[in-house]
């Protein structure tokens, strides 16, 4: 040992003290030695001074070493203690170790070698104990921190659950509000539409041209408003799971042609060509005709709304595995890939500003997405900005009722390839098969 060790010898017998000191010196240990003769003095010195080791005579004049050790340990005084026992003290050694003595040594065995050996051992043990204490302390602290963090996490989790609950409740109330308001507004709106239609009947009476023009505007705006209200009502029903499909066997080609003829005037008003091709060997499907019509109306009105010039194609054809596909394709403004996944969400529009050019509720595609999912179908979107968009609705020829709605959205999307989109312009059949090469899932 290179360092100088501070040693305290507690012994009332001066001869013994000298023997210990000379043995330590002879062992070549560098020591700074202090000596006291009784337990009281030892306690006082150890209370204020730190030693590397204490050699303690078992039999002190004012108390025995066992009592002194217990006092020292209960006062949290930490120091390696070696008890020097005399003859007949052997049976007490276990008690000494239990009370906190680091080691013991019979006085009869004191020699430079044994003393230096014991000293080295106790200091090593003591330092290892200190390290272990420190590590234990750190472990305890880490453990406490973990408990604290755990409690914090549990608190946060409870808060999130509460927020979640509040959000669900708010969402439920919002749906209820939407459903109630749109339902209540439909009754007066139907009256406005009905009375406007009566006023416009030639039998009813003579209206001036100006009056007839105004009533017509009331009628058209009323119809538009009713359409928007129906959209909100349908959406709230779909959200709340209150919309059921009423499936029956019908001719899908007829429905497609009917919708196209109903909407042709809108396309004509914008000078857009509206082409339709139905290519089905068996046009009969088992589905809800009202909802299939609604899907097509939504797609077609979007195609007309977002197209300034060019053409709109509607096509229906058979697919393998007993499926049919309805395709609505336009040469409109197109949709950027970054917007693909958003536009199927409720109230989401590419242009969210109030001053936007194209009006709408932002519910059309969300309704289509929910309906197609209920029907067990899929939506594919391919589009390119400034070139146009193609929406493909794949449906099973025969839907299963009730279809458990899958959680995944029905929509898939990809960017339109320029050439792909344009080369078959006059041939919608070819167009769709070419352009459907690489649609990808958007979520
Ligand atoms: P709305 O038409 O009422 O805005 P939709 O849910 O039908 O709501 O459509 C959401 C958005 O998707 C539209 O606002 C528009 O930005 C975009 N979109 C839909 N169809 C087309 C289309 N054929 N061409 C370009 N953009 C479209």
Q: Is the pLDDT of residue 391 over 80?
A: yes
Cβ atoms of residues 76 and 103 within 8 Å: no
Atom of ligand 1 nearest to the CA of 298: 7
| Ligand 1 pocket test target in 296, 305, 348, 349 with most atoms within 8 Å of CB | 349
**Reading across the β-sheet that carries 103-106, which strands appear in turn?**
31-36, 5-10, 53-57, 81-85, 103-106
Note the pLDDT tens digit of each residue in 35-84.
999 999 999 999 999 999 999 999 999 988 999 999 999 999 989 999 99
Q: Is the pLDDT of residue 418 over 80?
A: no
Distance 362 CA to ligand 1 centre (A): 7
**Which is higher by pLDDT, 397 or 241?**
397
Please give the pLDDT value at position 88: 75
| Ligand 1 pocket test target in 342, 365, 379, 381 with most atoms within 8 Å of CB | 365
**Residue appearing with tokens 């040693």:** 7
Q: Which of 8-22, 209-223, 351-365 has the lowest mean pLDDT?
A: 351-365
Please give the pLDDT value at position 423: 27
> Which whole number is the average pLDDT over 397-401?
89
Atom of ligand 1 nearest to the CA of 344: 6
Cβ atoms of residues 370 and 393 within 8 Å: no
Distance CA(367)–CA(433), nearest Å, equals 26
**Which is higher by pLDDT, 440 or 304?**
304
What's the token pair of residue 301?
A: 């009105």
Note the pLDDT tens digit of each residue in 431-440.
333 333 233 2
Distance 358 CA to ligand 1 centre (A): 9
The rounded mean pLDDT for the chain is: 86
Angle at which helices 364-374 and 209-239 cross, to 10°: 50
DSSP 71-92: HHHHTT----EEEEE-TT-GGG
Q: Does the structural domain 5-110 have CATH classification 2.70.70.10?
A: no
Distance CA(393)–CA(368), nearest Å, equals 9
396 forms bridges with which residues in the sheet? Answer: 323
| Ligand 1 pocket test target in 303, 306, 391, 393 with most atoms within 8 Å of CB | 306
Atom of ligand 1 nearest to the CA of 307: 24
Smallest Cα–Cα separation from 296: which of 246, 367, 215? 367
Distance CA(420)–CA(324), nearest Å, equals 22
Q: How many residues does the chain have?
A: 443
Distance 214 CA to ligand 1 centre (A): 30
380 forms bridges with which residues in the sheet? Answer: 392, 412
pTM for the full predicted model: 0.61
Note the pLDDT tens digit of each residue in 155-200.
999 999 999 999 999 988 888 888 888 888 888 999 999 999 999 8
Within 197-331, strands assigned E span 248-251, 273-279, 284-287, 311-319, 323-330
Q: Is the pLDDT of residue 2 over 70?
A: no
Using H for helix, E for strand and C for coil, what is the string for 385-401? Answer: CCCEEEEEEEEECECCC
Cβ atoms of residues 324 and 278 within 8 Å: no
Task: Tell me which residue has its CA closest to atom 14 in ligand 1.
Answer: 349
Task: Tell me which residue has its CA closest to atom 18 in ligand 1.
Answer: 302
Task: Tell me which residue has its CA closest to atom 4 in ligand 1.
Answer: 362
Please give the pLDDT value at position 408: 58
Note the pLDDT tens digit of each residue in 220-258.
999 989 988 888 888 888 887 778 899 999 999 999 999
Q: Which of 205-214, 300-309, 379-388 has the lowest mean pLDDT?
A: 205-214
Q: Looking at domain 248-439, which CATH architecture does it have?
A: 2-Layer Sandwich (3.30)
Distance 29 CA to ligand 1 centre (A): 92
Atom of ligand 1 nearest to the CA of 330: 23
């Amino acid at each position: 040992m290179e360092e100088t060790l501070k040693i305290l010898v507690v012994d009332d017998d001066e001869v013994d003290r000298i023997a210990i000191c000379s043995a330590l010196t002879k062992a070549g240990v560098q020591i700074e030695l202090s000596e006291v003769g009784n337990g009281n003095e030892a306690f006082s010195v150890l209370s204020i001074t730190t030693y590397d080791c204490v050699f303690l005579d078992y039999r002190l004049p004012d108390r025995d070493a066992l009592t002194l050790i217990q006092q020292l340990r209960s006062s949290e005084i930490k120091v390696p203690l070696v008890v020097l026992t005399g003859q007949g003290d052997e049976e007490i050694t276990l008690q000494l170790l239990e009370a906190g003595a680091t080691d013991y040594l019979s006085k009869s065995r004191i020699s430079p070698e044994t003393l230096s050996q014991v000293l080295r051992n106790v200091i090593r043990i003591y330092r290892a104990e200190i390290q272990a204490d420190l590590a234990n302390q750190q472990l305890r602290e880490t453990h406490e921190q973990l408990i604290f963090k755990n409690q914090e996490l549990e608190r946060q989790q409870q808060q999130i659950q509460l927020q979640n609950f509040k959000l669900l409740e708010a969402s439920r109330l919002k749906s209820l509000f939407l459903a109630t308001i749109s339902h209540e507004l439909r009754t007066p709106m139907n009256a406005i539409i009905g009375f406007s239609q009566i006023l416009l009947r030639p039998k009813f009476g003579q209206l001036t041209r100006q009056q007839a023009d105004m009533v017509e505007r009331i009628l058209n705006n009323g119809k538009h408003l009713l359409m928007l209200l129906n959209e909100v009502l349908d959406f709230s029903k779909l959200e709340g799971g209150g919309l059921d499909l009423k499936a029956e066997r019908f001719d899908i080609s007829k429905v497609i042609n009917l919708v196209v003829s109903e909407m042709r005037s809108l396309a004509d008003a914008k000078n857009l060509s509206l082409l339709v091709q139905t290519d089905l060997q068996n046009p009969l499907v088992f589905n809800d005709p009202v909802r299939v019509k609604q899907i097509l109306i939504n797609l077609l009105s979007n195609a007309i709304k977002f197209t300034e010039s060019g053409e709109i194609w509607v096509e229906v054809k058979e697919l393998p595995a007993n499926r049919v596909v309805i395709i609505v394709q336009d040469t409109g403004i197109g949709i950027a890939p970054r917007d693909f996944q958003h536009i199927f969400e409720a109230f989401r529009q590419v242009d969210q500003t109030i001053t936007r050019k194209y009006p709408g509720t932002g519910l059309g595609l969300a309704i289509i997405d929910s309906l197609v999912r209920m029907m067990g179908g899929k939506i594919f979107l391919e589009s390119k900005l400034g070139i146009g968009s193609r929406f493909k609705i794949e449906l099973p020829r025969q839907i299963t009722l009730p279809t458990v709605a899958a959680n995944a959205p029905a929509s898939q999307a990809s960017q339109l390839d320029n050439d792909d989109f344009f080369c078959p312009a006059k041939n919608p059949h070819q167009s769709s098969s070419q352009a459907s090469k690489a649609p990808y899932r958007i979520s």
